[in-house]
Structure 1
Amino acid sequence: MSTLPAECLVVAISSRALFDFEEENRVFEQGDDRAYMALQLQRLQQPAQPGVAHSLVRKLLAFNADGVTRVEVVILSRNDPVSGLRVFRSAGHDALPIQRGVFTRGAPPWRYLRPLGAHLFLSANIEDVRAALAAGFPAAQVYPHAPRASDAHPREVRIAFDGDAVLFSDEAERVYQTQGLHAFQDHEQRHASVPLPGGPFKPLLQALHRLQQAGSATMRIRTALVTARSAPAHERAIRTLMDWNIEVDEAMFLGGLDKGPFLREFEPDFFFDDQTRHVASAAEHVPAGHVAGGVTNPPPAAPREGTA
C-alpha cells in the first residue's frame, strides 16, 4: 500500500484553480453536464491553458526534483471522471507530475480532504471552500480571472498571508468589528505578550516552514505577512509568530492602505485574505484567494453549481 511521507505537504486543487476552464464551466453552469462532458472530450487533445494557481503548483512540485517526495498535489474536483481525462492530459503536457485525483461529477469533493491529509484546498467553488474551512482545513476560493504569477522568481515559492482570520484567529478582528479601531488598538496593546490563537491557515504556514527546513538545492520559500494592522497592534502579531517558532521573510503593517500595490511589488505566487475587498484589490495584480470564514464573512448562501 502506497503512503505519503508524514512530513509531505499535500495540496488539493480543483481543475478550475489549476487550469483555465472558464469557457467550459459556462457550459456546465447552463445545467447540461452532458454537453460539458462532450466539450471536454472533444478537447481531450487540446491542453488547457494555465489557471490562476498553476505557478504555485509548478513551483511547489519542483521541491521534488531530486526524487524525494516533499510535496504532493492532488486534483479534487466536481468534474466528472471523463472530463478528468483532460485534466490529467493537461497536467502531463505541462510536465506537472500529478498522479492522484478525485472527480465527483458535481458532488461536494471537500469530504476527501481528510483521507488525503491535505494542508491546503484551492477551489473556485465558494460552498466547497466554506465547508472545508468548517471542517478545519486551510481553504480558499480562487479568483479565476486574477492575473498569473510573475516569472521573475523561478527558484522561489512566494506566498503572502493576511493576519487576522487567516494566520491568526478572528479574535482581535471581532473586537475591531464590534467596537472600532481605538478599542482594537487598545485591546492588542494590552495583550501584546499574549499569543493569538491560530487561524485556519496556521497549519499551512507550519507545513511550509517544515518544507523550507527540509531544504532543496534549487527551490526555497519566501513568505510575507500583509496586514491592515499598524503600530502598536503590530507587536502581538510578531510575538505570536515568534511563539510558534516561525519566521516570515517580510511583514507589511499597512494601517488600512490598499494591499494591491504592495502585493504587486512582492509578486507572490498566491495571496490569501478573508476580506473580499482585499482579495479583489490583490487580484488586480497577483493570484489571490478568499478565505471565506471568520467574522467578516456572512453565513453560507444557498449552494450553487459549478465544476470547481
Structure 2
Amino acid sequence: MGVSLSDKLVVAISSRALFDFEEENRVFETGDLAAYEALQRARLNVPAQPGVAFALIRKLLALNDAAHHVEVVILSRSDPISGLRAFSSCREHGLDIQRGVFTRGSAPWRYLLPLNASLFLSANPDDVRGALDAGFPAARVFPRVDANSETIAGRNAGEIRIAFDGDAVLFSDEAEQIFQRDGLGAFVSHERDNRELPLAQGPLKPLLEALHRLQKLADANAQMRIRTALVTARSAPAHERAIRTLMAWNIEIDEAMFLGGLDKGPFLREFEPDFFFDDQIRHCESARSVTATGHVASGVANAKTPANGPAAQVTIAS
C-alpha cells in the first residue's frame, strides 16, 4: 500500500515562517539570487533561530504518537541546497519534519493539492493570495513587531491554543458584504432574520474541522490537548448565527468572544493562543504584538487592499 497523507492534519509552512530567516530574506528580495544562495550555503552548519510560527508547529508535532496524526511539510521558495539548512535546523531543534518542497523562486502553493494540506503558512503575501484564490486554507505570517520582542505564543506547554476570527476566516464574508453595501442596520437585520441559516464556510473552516477531529483524539492524550476560540467583532443579536453555524457543522469550540468592535489584542492576551487568524490588517496589527498572527487575505475587506498595505475599509462583522 502506498504512503498517504489523507488521514492527517497536514500543515505546509515556508522556511521563513518556521525559522528566523529575515536577514537572508532581505538579500533574497534584492533580486540577487546568487548572493542569497551563497549566504545560505555559508550558513549551512548554522542552525536558524525559531521563527514566528515555530511554537505552533512544535506543539502540533507533539500531538503525534504511534498513529502520527500531524504532518508538517516545509514548502518554500528557497533553492534545494538552502533547504539543507532548513532541515538541519529542524533536526537541531528536535522537530520531526521529514518532507519538503523547494521551488527556487517559483510559486510553491501549487503543491498544496498533492499534499492534501489543511493549512499553508507563509511570510510571502503573493503565495498566500495564490493559495487562497485556488481554494486552499492559507495565512500570511506576520513578523514580530520587534525581532527581540517576546509574545505569549508557546505558553501552556500541555495545550495547543488557536484563535480564529469569524467572517471571511471561518465563515464566508456574505454578512460583511451587506454591511459594506447597506450599513450596520441592514447587517444586524439580515443576521437576525437569518440566524437559523448556516453561513457558508470560509477559507479556514477545513482547518477548524481537522482540529476538531484531532481534539477528540487528543482528549485522551495527557501530554498535549487542543483548545480553540472564536474572537469576533460580532455582538448580539448577530452572535446567534455564528454559533448556530458551528452547531450545523457539528464543530465545538471552547471559547467565543463577541466583542462588538473592541480591540482584540487584550482579549487574546488573556486567552494566550499559540496562533491567531484574522482577515483584517488592523486586527492583525493589534494581535501580532501579543501572539503569532496570520493574515487571511480573503473577502471584501481585502478585495482592494494591497497585501502589505493598510485596510481600505472599516468592517464590523469580523
TM-score category, normalised to shorter length: over 0.9
Alignment partner of 1:203 is 2:206: yes
TM-score normalised over the length of structure 1: 0.95
Check whether the contact 1:52–1:148 (CA below 8 A) recurs between aligned residues. no
Q: 3-state SS of the aligned residue for 1:7? A: coil
Q: How many angstroms apart in 1 are the aligned matches of 2:44 and 2:130?
A: 31
What residue number does 1:112 align with? 111
Which structure 2 segments of 5+ residues have no match?
A: 309-318
Q: 3-state SS of the aligned residue for 1:231? A: coil
CA displacement, residues 68-94 of structure 1 (integer Å, 9 cap, x when unaligned): 210000000000111101000101000
| One-letter amino acid of the counterpart of residue 211, structure 1 | L
Mean CA deviation greater in 177-186 or 75-84: 177-186
What residue number does 1:24 align with? 24
Which structure 1 segments of 5+ residues have no match?
A: 304-308
Q: 3-state SS of the aligned residue for 1:296? A: helix
Select the residue among 209, 231, 239 that pairs with 2:236.
231
Q: How many angstroms apart in 2 are the aligned matches of 1:54 and 1:301?
A: 26
Q: Which has the higher contact order (CA 8 A, sep 6+)?
A: 1
What residue number does 1:12 align with? 12
CA displacement, residues 23-69 of structure 1 (integer Å, 9 cap, x when unaligned): 110111111111111111111111111001001100000011x3221
What residue number does 2:156 align with? 153
Check whether the contact 2:155–2:274 (CA below 8 A) recurs between aligned residues. no
Check whether the contact 1:5–1:69 (CA below 8 A) recurs between aligned residues. no
Alignment partner of 1:72 is 2:60: no
| One-letter amino acid of the counterpart of residue 177, structure 1 | Q
| One-letter amino acid of the counterpart of residue 156, structure 1 | E
Deviation of 1:217 (Å)? 3.5
What residue number does 1:144 align with? 143
What residue number does 2:272 align with? 267
Deviation of 1:224 (Å)? 0.3
Deviation of 1:301 (Å)? 5.8
What residue number does 2:312 align with? none
Check whether the contact 2:152–2:269 (CA below 8 A) recurs between aligned residues. no
| One-letter amino acid of the counterpart of residue 53, structure 2 | A
Deviation of 1:298 (Å)? 2.9
Deviation of 1:299 (Å)? 4.9
CA displacement, residues 125-153 of structure 1 (integer Å, 9 cap, x when unaligned): 11111111111111000012255444431
Check whether the contact 2:172–2:202 (CA below 8 A) recurs between aligned residues. yes
Q: How many angstroms apart in 2 are the aligned matches of 1:144 and 1:108?
A: 20
TM-score normalised over the length of structure 2: 0.92
Over 3 Å counting, the alpha-carbon distance change for 1:151 and 1:111 in structure 2 is closer
Count of residues in Structure 1 that have an aligned counterpart in Structure 2: 302
Q: How many angstroms apart in 2 are the aligned matches of 1:200 and 1:44?
A: 36
Select the residue among 167, 191, 196 that pairs with 1:193.
196
Mean CA deviation greater in 117-126 or 206-215: 206-215
| One-letter amino acid of the counterpart of residue 254, structure 1 | L
Q: How many angstroms apart in 1 are the aligned matches of 2:166 and 2:226?
A: 18
Identity within the alignment, %: 68
Q: 3-state SS of the aligned residue for 1:31? A: coil
Check whether the contact 2:169–2:277 (CA below 8 A) recurs between aligned residues. yes
Deviation of 1:5 (Å)? 4.9
Q: 3-state SS of the aligned residue for 1:205? A: helix
| One-letter amino acid of the counterpart of residue 96, structure 1 | L
Alignment partner of 1:182 is 2:181: no
What residue number does 2:292 align with? 287
Check whether the contact 1:17–1:122 (CA below 8 A) recurs between aligned residues. yes
Q: How many angstroms apart in 2 are the aligned matches of 1:141 and 1:283?
A: 12
Q: 3-state SS of the aligned residue for 1:262? A: helix
Q: Structure 2 matches for 1:244-263, cutoff 5 A?
A: 244-263=249-268
What residue number does 2:311 align with? none
Deviation of 1:264 (Å)? 1.2
CA displacement, residues 180-205 of structure 1 (integer Å, 9 cap, x when unaligned): 11111111001111111111111110
What residue number does 2:131 align with? 132
Q: 3-state SS of the aligned residue for 2:302? A: coil
What residue number does 1:97 align with? 96
Check whether the contact 1:55–1:149 (CA below 8 A) recurs between aligned residues. no
Deviation of 1:300 (Å)? 7.8
CA displacement, residues 251-290 of structure 1 (integer Å, 9 cap, x when unaligned): 0000000111111111111100001001111011111010
Check whether the contact 2:297–2:307 (CA below 8 A) recurs between aligned residues. no
| One-letter amino acid of the counterpart of residue 186, structure 2 | A
